[in-house]
Copies of this chain bind each other. A is one copy, B any other.
Amino acid sequence: MDLRLAQSLAVPAQTKIAMIIMDGLGGLPLEPGGKTELETARTPNLDALAAQSALGLTVPVGPGITPGSGPGHLAIFGYDPIEYEIGRGALEALGADFELGPDDVAARGNFCSVDAEGVLADRRAGRIPTEASRKLAELVRTIRIDGAEFFEETVKEHRFAFVMRGPGLGDALTDTDPHTTGVAPLPVRAVEPGSEKAARLANRFVERARKLLAGQHPANMILLRGFAGFPRVPSYRELYGLRAAAIAVNGMYRGVARSVGMTVLDVDGEPPAAEFATLEQNWGEFDFFYLHIKKTDTAGEDGDFAGKVRAIEEVDALMPRLMALGPDVVIVSGDHSSPALLRSHSWHPVPTLLYSRFVCADGIAEFGERACARGSLGVLPAKDVLPMALANAQRLTKFGA
């Protein structure tokens, strides 16, 4: 559905929407004929909620397309994930809690190791500890070049977010990371004329960093990749007049939420319980809550079927705390599937539940892949869930006379 149509119909209301995203929720049976992780999990609260909900299977990007976390989230947030792609560098910066702005071009940075001839020996500098990485970032932060400001935010180990800020910087730039060892890092090239200034500045920065790090070991050089500017995604406030909050622990998800204008709340304690506590504490302040569960995806990517089952059961046990708040609309879904069988993100459509007083409930008292396949939402683009949530929250008026 067209974002602008929903925008044109948005009306104010006092209702509250909660979106619980279990990352990589969809799964597969380990053996043919078996049950998936979600079907295996004991989920009395989600099953009871399913009975009062409309169920379906969401397709984040397209049939057969395995989504990254960025497009997966944009889709369930209601955006066309192809139209509103967030570049890798921008995601990294947002994920590092960097306040990315419209004059910024970001990239993923690595500290790396080069030999005396400048040839790349280790793209990750032996995965130096995060603390060592922070010290190197401080060093690199001393670089000053006319024409732009430069920022480095340590992410983890050898990884950092790199940001150039200045007028007239394009982001159509090639990587310095050759994605292999035994060759020298590459110069940044502008793919479009509007990015030539940015290319010059990035190359000067890398050259300064090389000199500054020359005496360091093992991290004596940097690599930059995935240059991307500020994502131009219209916010929930702008589109629907929603005060939206994000409850997520990991930088990437906090970053995507920030890119769509959500207020990112701090979580004090161990997720997911602490995330539900944050939800309770902030319930009065916002109209829309996105709550992100990371463990389901981590277990899926580790091939840990039982761990993913446990992570789902942990969320199920917390669901009464959400329901006690009296939400008008609840969405439970994922940003993509991550079957333990595949040990990775996958293309499989994602079990999705839409609860409200005004949903025509399917009466299927089970939340699982095959149960959702029988649901009245059918197989639907993930981006179509949000307009239905808004409608159920009585936040969309009639189209046409």
Task: Please report A residues at the B interface, Cβ cutoff 8 Å.
Answer: 1-2, 5-6, 9, 26, 28-29, 32-33, 36, 52, 57, 61-72, 81-82, 85-86, 88, 91, 226, 339, 341-342, 344-349, 357-358, 360-363, 369-370, 373-380, 384-392, 396-401
Contact = CB atoms under 8 A, between A and B. Distances in A.
Contacts of A32: 52, 357, 361
A401 B91 contact: yes
Contacts of A386: 64
24 contacts: A5-B62, A28-B360, A33-B363, A36-B360, A61-B400, A63-B387, A63-B388, A64-B389, A64-B392, A64-B396, A65-B399, A66-B397, A66-B399, A81-B400, A85-B400, A91-B401, A339-B358, A342-B358, A345-B398, A347-B388, A349-B376, A370-B376, A376-B379, A378-B379
A156 B84 CA distance: 48
Contacts of A226: 401
A83 B393 CA distance: 27
Contacts of A36: 360
A31 to B, nearest CB: 10
A399 B33 contact: no
A360 B351 CA distance: 12
Contact of A380 (B61, B341, B379): B379
Nearest to A108: B401
Given A358-B341, A360-B348, A360-B369, A6 B399 contact: no
B399 A71 contact: yes
A71 B400 contact: yes
Contacts of A69: 400-401
Given A342-B358, A373-B375, A400-B81, A63 B347 contact: no
A1 B379 contact: no
Contact of A384 (B2, B63, B362, B370): B63
A174 to B, nearest CB: 17
A66 to B, nearest CB: 5
Contact of A2 (B82, B396, B398): B82
A346 B376 CA distance: 16
A385 B357 CA distance: 29
Max count, chain B CB within 10 A of own CB: residue among A57, A64, A91 = A64
Contact of A401 (B70, B375, B387, B390): B70
B387 A65 contact: yes
Contacts of A379: 376-378, 380
B376 A57 contact: yes
A346 B396 CA distance: 10
A386 B63 CA distance: 9
A385 B344 CA distance: 22
A379 B380 CA distance: 9
B391 A66 contact: yes
A48 to B, nearest CB: 12
